[in-house]
Chain A
């Protein structure tokens, strides 16, 4: 089967969202050399420069659609524009990044187009006459390999799992700039507002000690703060549930909806290793995990695994490190 894949790029504040380049890598991995076609799609406002950029770096033809509406993303409009476009183009695969935007419209788009839909895709493989997709389930404790036989498949990649696309040899593609404001929408965009500034503390730290739901009680968080003081240039971070509980600030949250960090050392304590958390820290230089459960998914992403109860082990680490430092 000749595949015709569309990769939908996303931009925010005049920049391409990095995970879009990962979605292109996914499309390249599932294509079969030169016989398959990959088309890049970009929706938004004032797209000329961005479309040029992706046609150059992506080395493929771009269809950029000015969607009006003040440049706002609007799922109802996007679904109607994309459905029209893909019917015209006759695509077999649609790849996009699993950003909050991608996850917002992709499942509905798939239903509208009678397509199969996979979210959280971390890898692709050849399953004979079909394509196969790899994703995590049960908080990362199990890997699911799905093979799909459908005329159209929508593939939503898990941020941070495919390499960002880069190919210095690729010839520049063409840019086809269009305009389509879609249908009248039942959704009205009001504004994009910033509620949280990016934390410089996490970006600047060379060591991040991070706490998860394994801490169980707010009082136990003193342990992570003490552990942090054992190191220099360190900062305290955590998983989303602790921020939801108000035990940590949202600026301390690591993951797809928090900070993407890459310190020299990431020390994960009582964190299970859900894909949304892993995406935010998998590029750390060195990863150490402390978890009471030997089967915790976080261990699969760690350089060093310590199966211990953090409530007793962290005090031991603090004491031991202080002792050894003094020697």
Chain B
């Protein structure tokens, strides 16, 4: 049997309805009942890729894992709704910041006991935007790793996977990695499916494997973070008035700048 692990993350969605605000400590953002949470989009591609592998090879088991506080389990449930077989939640305390190195280490401790053949993660998370957990996890597990993977083909007969990394300028870096291996998945590799009703029902009933992060290792950090709202790099003139007035102002501005005749 081939075992695949997909790491997923729950991220807040800030938009018009749920405006982003820095909390009182200045170290995090405010999330409350208004905040919509969803699975990190890049992880959806990773889940889908695992499901596609399961479809083309017989005897594949897919597990999804997340690290985070209580609510984060929704991302695992979502993955199960898409068709993942089993869910694992490394439970952190609400006040624990999720630092990439720490998260990768926690996952590695759990993964070591499970002997996965392939580990997939999204290329980065939309909230922290670091792209570090995947390659760090590979390092902790001493696995070959390819990031920004835009195409992948398993060759179980060779105990390997052929991966194409998307690099700049329309090129791809084509590699063969010995299994077990870790790939971070770039958007565009597939079209992630929506959860199916039957899978969602099954996910609802399913019990997640819950592991307390504290029981794995203690958190230590060398970094202190303070959040701020971004400054402006240009004039950022905000137009006002009706739509038509704004359009007229825009026309005039572009004329003044000699961008249009």
Interface string of A243-280 (1 = CB under 8 A from B): 11100001100001100000011000000001100000
User: Which one, A100, A148, A305, contacts B147 given CB within 8 A?
Assistant: A100
Residues of A within 8 A of B104 (CB): 111
Closest residue to A191 on the B side, CB-wise? B174
Q: Do A231 and B260 have beta carbons less than 8 Å apart?
A: yes
B225 CB-CB contact with A under 8 Å:
yes
Q: Do A187 and B228 have beta carbons less than 8 Å apart?
A: no
Residues of A within 8 A of B132 (CB): 107, 117, 119
B201 CB-CB contact with A under 8 Å:
no
Residues of B within 8 A of A257 (CB): 148, 166, 168, 186
User: Which one, B16, B144, B251, contacts A293 given CB within 8 A?
Assistant: B16
Closest residue to A105 on the B side, CB-wise? B135
Residues of A within 8 A of B101 (CB): 110-111, 116-117
Question: How far, in angstroms, from A12 to B143 measured CA to CA in the complex?
Answer: 26
Question: How far, in angstroms, from A110 to B124 measured CA to CA in the complex?
Answer: 17
Closest residue to B231 on the A side, CB-wise? A300
Residues of A within 8 A of B95 (CB): none
Q: Do A188 and B176 have beta carbons less than 8 Å apart?
A: yes
Question: How far, in angstroms, from A243 to B169 measured CA to CA in the complex?
Answer: 15
Residues of B within 8 A of A185 (CB): 144
Interface residues of B in 133-175 (CB under 8 A from A): 134-136, 138-140, 143-148, 162, 164-175
Give the shortest distance, in Å, between A185 (CB) and chain B (any CB). 8
Residues of B within 8 A of A241 (CB): 187
B129 CB-CB contact with A under 8 Å:
yes
Residues of A within 8 A of B227 (CB): 137, 142-145
Interface string of A137-153 (1 = CB under 8 A from B): 11111111111111000
Closest residue to A245 on the B side, CB-wise? B191
Question: How far, in angstroms, from A324 to B245 measured CA to CA in the complex?
Answer: 12
Interface string of A190-201 (1 = CB under 8 A from B): 111111111000
Interface residues in B, total, Cβ within 8 A: 81
User: Which one, B15, B135, B244, B246, contacts A107 given CB within 8 A?
Assistant: B135
Interface residues in A, total, Cβ within 8 A: 94
Give the shortest distance, in Å, between A243 (CB) and chain B (any CB). 7
B216 CB-CB contact with A under 8 Å:
no
Q: Do A190 and B176 have beta carbons less than 8 Å apart?
A: yes
A168 CB-CB contact with B under 8 Å:
no
A286 CB-CB contact with B under 8 Å:
yes
Interface residues of A in 88-137 (CB under 8 A from B): 99-101, 103-108, 110-112, 116-117, 119-120, 135-137
Interface string of B234-261 (1 = CB under 8 A from A): 1111110001101110110110010110
Q: Do A187 and B171 have beta carbons less than 8 Å apart?
A: no
User: Which one of A207, A250, A256, A303 has the highest number of Cβ atoms from chain B below 10 Å of its Cβ?
Assistant: A303
Residues of A within 8 A of B139 (CB): 79, 107-108, 111-112
Residues of A within 8 A of B19 (CB): 295
Question: How far, in angstroms, from A205 to B175 measured CA to CA in the complex?
Answer: 36
Q: Do B246 and A308 have beta carbons less than 8 Å apart?
A: yes
Question: How far, in angstroms, from A275 to B165 measured CA to CA in the complex?
Answer: 20
Give the shortest distance, in Å, between B229 (CB) and chain A (any CB). 7
B116 CB-CB contact with A under 8 Å:
no
14 A-B pairs, CB-CB below 8 angstroms? Answer: A73-B173, A108-B136, A117-B100, A120-B129, A140-B230, A141-B20, A142-B20, A142-B227, A148-B223, A186-B143, A187-B144, A195-B171, A240-B187, A306-B238
Having A17-B168, A107-B134, A231-B260, one finds 14 other A-B pairs with CB under 8 Å, namely: A103-B148, A105-B135, A108-B138, A138-B14, A143-B228, A188-B175, A189-B174, A192-B174, A257-B168, A265-B254, A303-B237, A313-B246, A316-B244, A320-B251
The 9 closest A-B pairs by CB, nearest first: A196-B170, A320-B247, A244-B188, A108-B139, A186-B144, A111-B139, A107-B135, A107-B132, A190-B174
Residues of B at the A interface (CB closer than 8 Å) are 12, 14-16, 19-20, 22, 29, 100-101, 104, 126-132, 134-136, 138-140, 143-148, 162, 164-178, 181, 186-188, 191, 222-239, 243-244, 246-248, 250-251, 253-254, 257, 259-260
